[in-house]
Structure 1
Amino acid sequence: MEKIQANNNKLPSNLPQLQNLIKRDAASYTEEFERQHSVYAATCVIFEQNPTIYNEQLHQMVMFLAQDKNLRKFLKEHIVTDIKNMNSKSKNMKLNKELQNFMCDMLTAKHAVAAKTSLTVMIELYNKRVWNDVRTVNIIASACFSKITKIMVAAMKFFIGKDHEAEVESDSDSENENVVMKSAMMTAKVNKKTKKNQRKLEKVKATARKNEKKNRIKANFDFSALHLIHDPQNMAEKMYKRLEKMNERFEVKMMTMNLISRLIGVHQLYLPNFYPLVQRFLFPHQREVTKVMVFAAQAAHAQVPPDDLEPVLHTLANNFVTDRCSSEAMAMGINSIRELCARNPYCMTDDLLQDLTQYKTHKDKGVMMAARSLISLFRGKNRELLAKKDRGAPTEIHAERKQEKFGENKALSYIPGAEILTFRAQADDDRIEVSDSDDDEWSDVQNSHDEAKGKIANEQDGDIEKVYTSKAALKEVMKLSAEERAARATDVVSSRFLTDADFARIAAAQAAKEIEKFSISNKRKSKKRKLEDEEKLESEEIVSLKSIEMIYKKRKHDKEARTGTVVAGREGREKFGYKKSHINPDASTSNKIKLKTKNFMMLKHKIAGKHKKSFREKQIKLKNALLKQKKNYK
């Protein structure tokens, strides 16, 4: 027994012990390492002579030398480069499948270093777009349930981290944005050059940029690795059960919560037990509470019942949006409520919303802006929950959209805004040159008298077809009711193929609807007049007194007529302004009233002496008074 123990302590034959000693003190065991390296070189020469026979000594020597970090790094880079070169011209599906099976076996191996290396290789190949398929993603997803913490964290970081696909941005989005901008600029140049139209143009530009940004973010996010998971519901449930029993560090728990919330939000899963778990961490003193707020917002989507999200919403309001909290905590609480309601507005109640909107006049700017952003969100989501004074003026886009209830999903049979295509437009690009520069100067527009009016009549096959400019076409669209727009858009979509230019016109029309205020009075008047004309044509046999007395007058839009109306309304009305306090108008006024009529230069010296003195000035004045008083006593 003593003989066997003495042989185990010999360094040349006990490689694990030598490996441990080299890790602790590498300089003292340089000779032993060089000796083993020479043995490794000799064993390699023997193996090259007959590579088909398994050599156990070579296997032990390789495992001994593989503990070197530089060697492991070199081998990993070599594997990645080799697989990348094999798939450079065309993907070798058979070889890739064999290698993926090998990597999957290595992930379940007992050797932690080998499993971690295989996971790193697969992640790197996915990021280099060599193995960016469904199989690779699901193999990496299986590593999220590893018992080794390093492997689990690396797999979760892969799904949580920034996706490399999102870094590539196409130029088509900027081209579509330029088309919408050109259409808006052209409409503004034909219009009157007023400040109101200029402000409207700026709003159209901002709306177009916002819509294009939303579309670009959505298009980039659609390529995320989270979308390639086979069974996201099962994965989220397993990770939640593991999170409840997890004894890892707080950072690992937060990472697990982040991944679960992303799975719920991306795939619209239903995991009701997750929301009470997040609710336990929503306190101002909680460590990294802002991340927990993000997780709560990520896990919300339109398919979650409002009963599950209402407790989270009330917890945020009660723990953060109170006067006993700091202004930073209040602003964060309102912002997190806004992000949650942006994904599921059905969980908000009118009482809570109206309480939160009262902070729009808060003295802190952050709280004030957060409350105003919440108001602007619900102006588009559900205006009825807001107080009447906070709803704002309704726009044309609000008149088209109808408020949906929870679980309701209305599929449209048309493209909103396609009704603009029923009004034939001119080739404005041939007549108007739009500058791509950012200057706001107006340029001259070369158009005819008919173009300025907005309509041109062209004779084609004996029929007269009206051709509209963009300005006139938008005016005609605004005159239509929501039902008429839907009918026209349905006819257009079902009868023709749409081009890029058509989609650009639709985007411009939708942007104009978001700015144009909704006015039902014009629609009612035009509809009423149309019905009266129809009744007049149908009842020509009987002449009524109403048809005689009905006189259509043109409204007076000139300045003199408006001024006369204003002056006439002031007659018999008390004069606005300061009312004298004394009863007798002939009596003299007080000195205080007389000061108001004097020149400012006469009162400058008096006003200057009334400024509030600083604390230092008061100290000096008190010191001088005390010194003077002491001097007089002497």
Structure 2
Amino acid sequence: MPRGILLTSNLPQLQNLIKRDPEAYREEFLQQWNRYNTIRQIFHLNPEQEANNFRELVSFISQLAKCYPKETAEFPAQLSALLIENYQILPPDIRRSFVQNLVMLRAKNVISSVSMLQTLFPLLPRTTSTSLRTLIRTTILSDIKIANNRNKNHKLNRVVQSMLFGMVERGMALEFVGDKGKAKAVSDSALGLAGQDAMWAVIFTKELWRKSIWNDTKSVAIIATACFHPVVKVQSASIHFFLGSNQDDDEMEPSDDEGPDLKTLQHRREVNKKTRCGDRKLEKQIKKTKKKRSQKSDSQSGNFPALQLLHDPQTFGERLYDNLSRYEKKLSLDHRIIIMQLLSRVMGSHKLCILGFYTYVVKYITYHQLNIPSILAALAQSVHELTPPDTLEPVIRKISQEFIHPGVGSEVIAAGLNTIREICRRQPWAMDEDLLGDLVSYRKSRDKTVTAAARGLLQLFREVNPGILKRRERGKEASMGYTQEKHSLPFGYTVKAAEDIDGLEFLEDHLKSLDTENVGEDSRDQQAWENWLVESDSDSSSEPDWINVDSDGADNLEISDSDSETADVEPVSTSSDQRGQLPAGVPSLATRKILTPADFALINDLRIKAATAVVEKTGGSVTKRKLAALEGNRKYATANSDFISENDILGPRKRVKADYAERIASIEKGREDREAFGSKKGKKNKEVPSSSTNKEKARNKPFMMIMSSGAVRGKKKASLKEKQQRLRRHIDKAKRSR
């Protein structure tokens, strides 16, 4: 092929030839490389004049950079500089082409992931194109995911996390504006750019956490730092990460659709024709609906692992309370509430005592306060067993004065009683004896919600502290336990070590039955630990290796728990009657097996199964109450009981009657995907569609409706001759039809 066809206007063909034999066409490539350098200098002076030619040359060199690594060593740095320094003046098509070429260089391993990410991260806040922003975001996430696919790429993760830290800390020194000063925040370019950088850092960290690519303390530290950013939007997105929702993330669109009702799907399947395809579709819909509901319940329960990975929870909580009290006038009520929720969850999870929070929240405790259920839920979940009762007594008094009196509605009274119950569940010593007697008296109310709330409070104190109840209100079991000196522990005391595990004998019998079925112990243990393991994010190379100790030298090891190496240690008697003995009635399984979380869940299920069998066989109120308690324990085990939702405060409520707009909306929703009204009977097999005749309709009428009609009466009064004629006509018609 003559070299004359390799003109400047035919770069694709030259690119194809060079890929086949790079050495044979080195001179032609160097010619285009020199042309690229010349046009690049002209492009800096006048970007619009040489835009198309320059874009084609950049794409050409990007495709062939791997063939000539020495000649194109400076090309990736030049391309990155063009994107970062001249991004605003570049035409939109040139920007997208340069970004795609940079991604191509990374795909061909011409540049590293760090070089590409250092170029793409600064472009995100400056990009106005939705498609280009989506391309950059997808590229960054996929590159980090591929790098951590098999093993954790700690080097890359540290570099990326350092960049995200820098994006968050870039605007931390600016003045705090608040969401009530939105006009000022928008007009301030420095604050707006810093907010965009920090927002993108939070978005990437949340997405990588959600995909389980990052699950270490550094990721949590990035978002914990962003919780105190001057831009309220960044604060809100960071706080919602710890609360377990993506409400303020504009780049993510959470779905609130929970799917159809499971009972409706099952009923529809029973009515319709039975097919295997229908069974598969039903099973698929049920799995999808359950998955969506589990995701919603997880978001309501909060991001508990992230809360546990906070570096300094006490300082974090104090800074949250400081921002809440200092910038109260600059923050809207909704933002103050989510700060209260996060602060309360940190206090409850880490057993923190930030006593100023209870003084601060008292002024919000009024029944006419907006979003009062969320505030009461935050107040209740901030309490724990180490909270001083003296601090909580004024709060409970204020709740009882504002919510529990005859001048408010039944829902308000129920909310107040439920809040006090949740507070006392965590700290029973905050309740006064006289006040408890007044609150428990509401169990005789006519409203079911109030009655249920008061009975729940009464049942709680029957279990935790029956001594402050009146004698007639303690119940049989609580009175018997109180007379046997089973009092509740004072404030500050801890429960003694447990001597036995309730229901362990059921687990031992269950394992024996599995042994009879030839199920191996190794497979049981592997199945028990499944879904309960947490992948370690620590660097395996930094961990010290195991030290091999010879069995012969084990006697030479000296072990001492004293500060002095010469301390004398008296021998401990280990007689045969003291060694290896267990309390009477305790199964030996506790000494042979390490119980996993799955084992404890299985123990609870086995206890529920045994209690259900007893209730079905004998009945009785005592066994029914025990069964209800076990089911409640399973509920609290599956959902974290430390977190409280608004439904726990409001309690079970009556169904509110729908107004006119809601009824019309329900009617319109029912008419969707439905054909027009009217009967289709008699229209299927006709050339001209029409309805059935009156004679056809009369045939299907019930006899009781037509027994008084003239036609029926005429048949009864017909003579013998008329009956014979009618029978003859019927026989002739039947013959003709055959």
- Offset from partner CA, 1:219-256 (integer Å, 9 cap, x none): x9895210110101000101111111211222111111
Aligned residue pairs total: 381
Counterpart residue number, 2:154: 93
Name the counterpart of 1:488. Answer: 584
The question of 1:262 aligning with 2:319 is answered no
Alpha-carbon spacing, 1:41–1:497, altered in 2? closer, same or farther (3 Å): closer
Aligned pairs for 1:443-522 (under 5 A) are 487-488=583-584, 497=593, 507=607, 515=622
Distance 1:430 1:108 in 2: 59
What is aligned with 1:330?
413
**1:384 and 1:80 mapped to 2: Cα distance?**
59
Residue in structure 2 matched with residue 51 of structure 1 by the alignment: 75
Q: What secondary structure, in the 3-state scheme, does the structure 2 residue paired with 1:322 have? A: coil
What whole-Å deviation, never above 9, does each CA across 1:391-421 have from its counterpart, x for those lacking one? 2220798879641111110222512437969
Matching residue within 71, 74, 77 for 2:132: 71
The one-letter code of the counterpart of 2:468 is L
Q: Which of 384, 392, 417 in structure 2 is aligned with 1:301? A: 384
Mapping for residues 170-249 of structure 1, pairs under 5 Å:
224-246=305-327, 247-249=330-332
Q: Select 1:119's aligned residue among 202, 227, 233.
A: 202
Q: CA RMSD in A?
A: 4.3
| Structure 1 partner of 2:525 | none
Deviations 1:420-449 (A, max 9, x none): 69x999978999xxxxxxxxxxxxxxxxxx
Q: Give how far 1:507 is off.
A: 4.5
Q: Which residue of 1 aligns with 2:215?
A: 132
* Alignment partner, residue 598 of structure 1: none
Contact 1:418 1:493 in 2 (8 A): no
1:260 and 1:151 map into 2 onto residues whose CA distance is 17
TM-fit CA distance, 1:103: 1.5
Question: Which residue of 2 is the match for residue 142 of structure 1?
Answer: 225
- Matched residue type, 1:96: N
Give, in whole Å, the separation in 2 of the partners of 1:33 and 1:310: 72
Letter in 2 for 1:84: K
* Aligned match of 1:354: 437
Which position in structure 2 is the counterpart of 1:109? Answer: 170
> Does structure 1 residue 152 correspond to structure 2 residue 213?
no
- 2:503–2:604: 8 Å Cα contact kept in structure 1? no
**Aligned equivalent of 2:87:** 62
CA distance in 2, matches of 1:424, 1:90: 41
Contact 2:242/2:304, CA 8 A, preserved across alignment? no
CA distance in 1, matches of 2:500, 2:472: 32
Tell me what 2:488 maps to: 403
**Distance in structure 1 (CA, Å) of the matches to 2:75 and 2:208:** 30
1:364-403 superposed matches below 5 A: 364-394=447-477, 402-403=487-488
Question: CA-to-partner distance for each residue in 1:458-493, whole Å, 9 max, x for gaps?
Answer: xxxxxxxxxxxxxxxxxxxxxxxxxxxx94257958
Q: Secondary structure in 1 aligned to 2:75?
A: coil
Alpha-carbon contact 1:262-1:299 (below 8 Å) kept = yes
Q: Work out the CA distance in 1 between the residues paired with 2:487 and 2:586.
A: 18
Alpha-carbon offset, residue 384 of structure 1: 1.7
Q: Give yes or no for contact 2:242–2:302 (8 Å, CA) kept in 1.
A: no
User: Equivalents in 1 of 2:326, 2:394: separation in Å?
Assistant: 24
Displacement of 1:288: 0.6
User: How many Å separate the matches in 1 of 2:412 and 2:304?
Assistant: 35
Asked if the contact 1:359–1:368 (Cα under 8 Å) also holds between the matched residues in 2, the reply is yes
Residue 314 of structure 1 deviates from its aligned partner by: 0.7
* 1:547-566 equivalent positions in 2, closer than 5 A: none
Shift of 1:258: 1.0
Give me the whole-angstrom Cα distance separating, in 1, the residues matched to 2:342 and 2:414. 26
Q: What amino acid is aligned across from residue 311 of structure 1 in structure 2? A: P
Which sits farther off after the overlay, 297-306 or 401-410? Answer: 401-410
CA shift, 1:335, in A, is 0.9
Partners of 2:351 and 2:142 in 1: how far apart? Answer: 38
Q: Which moved more, 1:63-72 or 1:52-61?
A: 52-61
For 1:230 and 1:516, the matched residues in 2 are separated by 46
Q: Distance in 1 between matches of 2:588 and 2:323?
A: 54
Check the 8 A contact 2:505/2:587 in 1, yes or no: no
Question: CA separation of 1:360/1:99 partners in 2, compared to 1, >3 Å: closer, same or farther?
Answer: same
AA in 1 matched with 2:55: A
My pick for the range that moved more, 263-272 or 87-96, is 87-96
Change (3 A) 1:223 1:161: closer
Secondary structure in 2 matching 1:131 = coil
Is residue 359–residue 371 contact of structure 1 (8 Å, CA) maintained in 2?
A: yes
User: Residue 275 of structure 1: CA displacement?
Assistant: 0.3
Q: Percent identity?
A: 29
Q: Tell me, what secondary structure is at the counterpart of 2:407?
A: coil
Partner of 2:423: 340
Residue in structure 2 matched with residue 41 of structure 1 by the alignment: 55
How far 1:90 moved relative to its partner? 1.8
Is the CA contact 2:348–2:381 (under 8 Å) kept in the aligned structure 1? yes
The alpha-carbon deviation at position 115 of structure 1 amounts to 2.4
Asked whether 1:282 is paired with 2:378, we answer no
Which SS does the other structure have where 2:584 is aligned? helix
Secondary structure at the counterpart of residue 341 of structure 1: helix
User: Which residue number corresponds to residue 141 of structure 2?
Assistant: 80
Could you tell me how far apart the structure 1 residues matched to 2:396 and 2:402 are?
A: 10
Note closer, same or farther for the CA distance 1:372–1:77 as it changes in structure 2 (3 Å cut).
same
Q: Deviations over 1:142-171 (max 9, x none)?
A: 1111112221111111001259xxxxxxxx
**Superposition deviation, residue 322 in structure 1:** 0.6
- How far did 1:81 drift? 1.6
Task: Say whether the 8 Å CA contact 1:300–1:343 is kept in structure 2.
Answer: yes
Q: Which amino acid aligns with 1:380?
A: E
Taking the aligned partners of 2:213 and 2:432, their CA distance within structure 1 comes to 49
Contact 1:415 1:493 (8 Å CA) reproduced: no
Deviation at 1:374, TM superposition (A): 1.1
Aligned CA distance change for structure 1 residues 239 and 424 (closer, same or farther; 3 Å): closer
SS at match of 1:394: helix
| Cα deviation, residue 345, structure 1 | 1.1
Correspondence 1:415 to 2:500: yes
Summarize the Cα distance change of 1:294–1:425 in structure 2 as closer, same or farther, 3 Å threshold.
closer
> Structure 2 CA distance, aligned partners of 1:120 and 1:391?
53
Whether the 8 Å CA contact 1:354–1:387 is kept in 2: the answer is yes
Q: Distance in 1 between matches of 2:592 and 2:214?
A: 41
CA contact (8 A) 1:331 1:370 kept: yes
Read off the aligned partner of 1:403 and give its amino acid letter. Answer: S
Identify the range of structure 1 (507-516 vs 116-125) with the bigger mean alpha-carbon deviation. 507-516
* Residue matched to 1:273: 356
- Partners in 1 of 2:303 and 2:199 — Cα distance? 28
- For residues 510 and 329 of structure 1, do their structure 2 counterparts lie closer, same or farther at Cα, with a shift above 3 Å needed? same
What pairs up with 1:516-555 in 2 under 5 angstroms? none
Q: Aligned equivalents of 2:594 and 2:458: distance in 1? A: 36
Aligned to 2:674: none
Q: Is the CA contact 1:294–1:336 (under 8 Å) kept in the aligned structure 2?
A: yes
